[in-house]
Every structure is written in C-alpha cells, then in structure tokens.
Amino acid sequence: MKHLLTTTAAIEAGTGLALIAFPSPMATILLGTPTDTPVALTVARAAGVAIFALAAVCWLVRNDGQGHTVRGLVSAVALYNAGIIVVLAYGGINLGLSGIGLWPTVGLHGAMAAWCVTNLLKSHSPGGTPPPPTV
C-alpha cells in the first residue's frame, strides 16, 4: 500500500495547494467556470485545506505496512475517490459543467478508487500480507 499512499499524497498535495493558492483558475479548469464570489473562493480554499490534510496523512502513514490503521485510511481514500466521482460526474451530466479537466479528473479518481479496492482485497486475501499481530 506504500505506493498507493505515496501517489495519493503527491497528487492530493498538489491539488490541495493549487486550490488554496489559485481557487478560481482551478475551478475554471475543473468545472468550466471561475469561482468569483467570496463564498465560492472560501469554500474552494477550505476544500484545498481538506485535500491537503488527506495528502499529509497518506504521506505520514505510507510506511506503516498493512495494519488496521492503514487499511482504514485506504478505505477512507477509496470512499473519497468514489465520492469525488459522483459529485463531478453529477456536475458534468446534470449541471452542464464542462471544464477541460472534468472528465480526466473523474477518470483519475476512478483509477485511484480501483487501486484502493485492489489493495484492500489483497490485504484480506490468503495470499496477501497478514496484518501485524495485536498485543
């Protein structure tokens, strides 16, 4: 799971920092419309902080093997990726959002969600690495 968590940390750190520093251009790339109100800018920056926090925790636990904490984090990251897919696809299909980065981002989160699920299934399979013993 180390490669998954390292990759997630890198992708989400960049995204989070970009949203914090440049919320309107990021919204334009992703959704096809700028964030031009103080409320939208604040929400976009708050989302950036949350995404950056996700990156930080992925980075900090990337070397912790396949214990309960790591599997819990990967499960949460899978849920995050699935949620992002639903939110962005809904925006593209039902709300007419059409930024150049919308569908590539949906695809990226789909691939990341699949990678999370694959890692979780491996960690529970008989051939997978067993979790460390609890004391």
Q: Write out pLDDT tens, residues 108-134.
A: 999 999 999 999 999 876 555 555 555
Instruction: Give the model confidence (pLDDT) of 50-104 as tens digits.
Output: 999 999 999 999 999 888 999 999 999 999 999 999 999 999 999 999 999 999 9
What single string gives the DSSP state of each residue in the chain?
A: -HHHHHHHHHHHHHHHHHHHH-HHHHHHHHHSS---SHHHHHHHHHHHHHHHHHHHHHHHHTTSTTSHHHHHHHHHHHHHHHHHHHHHHHHHHHS----TTHHHHHHHHHHHHHHHHHHHHHHHSTTSPPPPPP-
Token pair in block for residue 38: 């103080």
Query: pTM for the whole thing?
Result: 0.87
